[in-house]
């Protein structure tokens, strides 16, 4: 069964540095998402992306964050000037359509640790 893949599985970065988290969505999917899970807290929506544009973003997704689909397969989340509170598990998800009854398929996540 096709899977969403994320790399790296664990990223350790010094505070203030930039980090790029990478995702390869399922190949025939058109809608892409990033979520975040801070340790001990709920999974939170960050951003949705379709047709090379952000469809919706949460209040968490400020100017520090950006997303890009640089080619036909990758979907990236960039965090500029990382802060300690950016430490979290970041999940990428995708789905084929935007019908509300269609589930999102998640990757295994990238654990981001900011030192």
Partner 1 sequence: AQSVTQLGSHVSVSEGALVLLRCNYSSSVPPYLFWYVQYPNQGLQLLLKYTTGATLVKGINGFEAEFKKSETSFHLTKPSAHMSDAAEYFCAVMRGGKLIFGQGTELSVKP
Site residues (vs partner 1, CB under 8 A): 4, 6, 31, 33, 35, 41-45, 48, 55-56, 91, 93, 98, 100-101, 103-109
User: Which residue number, 14 or 41, has a Cβ lying nearer to partner 1?
Assistant: 41
In sequence order, what are the beta bridge partners of 32? 49, 94
**What's the min distance (Å) between Cβ of 34 and partner 1?**
10
- Cα separation, 49 vs 68, whole angstroms: 9
User: Which residue number, 13 or 44, has a Cβ lying nearer to partner 1?
Assistant: 44
**What's the min distance (Å) between Cβ of 81 and partner 1?**
26
């Amino acid at each position: 069964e096709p899977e969403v893949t994320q790399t790296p599985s664990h990223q350790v970065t010094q505070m203030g540095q930039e980090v790029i988290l990478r995702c390869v969505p399922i190949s025939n999917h058109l809608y892409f998402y990033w979520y975040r899970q801070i340790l001990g807290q709920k999974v939170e929506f960050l951003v949705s992306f379709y047709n090379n544009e952000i469809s919706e973003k949460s209040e968490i997704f400020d100017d520090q964050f950006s997303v890009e689909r640089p080619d036909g397969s990758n979907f990236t989340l960039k965090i500029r000037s990382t802060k300690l509170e950016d430490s979290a598990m970041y999940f990428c998800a995708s789905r084929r359509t935007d019908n509300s009854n269609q589930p999102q398929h998640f990757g295994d996540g990238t654990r981001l640790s900011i030192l």
